[in-house]
Amino acid sequence: MEYRYLGNSGLKVSCLGLGGWITFGQQVSFETCAECMRVAFENGVNYFDTAESNAGGQSEIDMGMVFRKFGWKRSDLVVSTKIFWGGKGPNDRGLSRKHVIEGLRASLKRLQLTYVDIVFAHRPDLDTPMEEVVRAFNHVIDKGMAFYWGTSEWPAQKITEAHAVAQRLGLIAPLLEVGGRRVLEIVVRALYILAITPLTSIHHHFHFVAIPIQHVQSRVH
């Protein structure tokens, strides 16, 4: 397995990662989930991704149980989760300071971890001031709940705004953007990557694409 630095950080991640999107905790059994993660880990994958909204939180629960089941060293794992859709309550979604902090605490409890390596803002929040968003993610980093933060499915202008706010306040800017799950949207995604590419040189902002395994298999066959 090849490992690369994540953006301009000192964190090394495997070129392939495993995510528990809608399958873990919902479409496959825990045994299948555990076997997938075991095979991935034993073949050099160190990056595992999930989200508070995946299978209503069950994805995080299952992933955490697998970590405990195999007793892998925490230093051998790079774990990320995403915050935005946490529940039905008025403050259980979005990127307010309240939900970012409470949502990540709940995710850590489900994962049975004291921290995640990366926490993502799962979508842009048009109702919350960018300064509040940037300060909220810096808060969870300062408290040791996460080491880095990033964005997911954010437009380039919002990422640029977050970097500008972070620079003005002397805070940590988002390290990376993740997006691109639907292969049928490849044309739109290509335009999106063209729009976001300048950020990599201006802000050293890293971008990677998430694709469901079944889509990869369909291209192989």
Q: How far apart are alpha carbons 73 and 159 in whole angstroms?
A: 33
Of 83, 101, 109, nearest in space to 141 by CA:
101
For residue range 112-124, list pLDDT tens digits in order.
Answer: 999 999 999 999 9
Q: How far is CA 3 from CA 11, 94, 105, 179, in A?
A: 10, 33, 29, 20
Run of H or E residues at 198 = helix 186-202
Q: Domain range spanning residue 7?
A: 3-220
Domain count, the chain: 1
pTM, full prediction: 0.83
CATH of the domain at 130: 3.20.20.100
Q: Would you list the DSSP string of 57-83?
A: GHHHHHHHHHHHHHT--GGG-EEEEEE
Ranking 10-19, 27-36, 40-49, 104-113 by mean pLDDT, the lowest is 27-36
Q: Please check whether residue 2 is in contact with residue 15, taking contact to mean a CB–CB distance below 8 angstroms.
A: yes
pLDDT of residue 217: 37
Task: Write the Ramachandran bin of 10: left for phi over 0, alpha for psi from -120 to 50, otherwise beta.
Answer: alpha
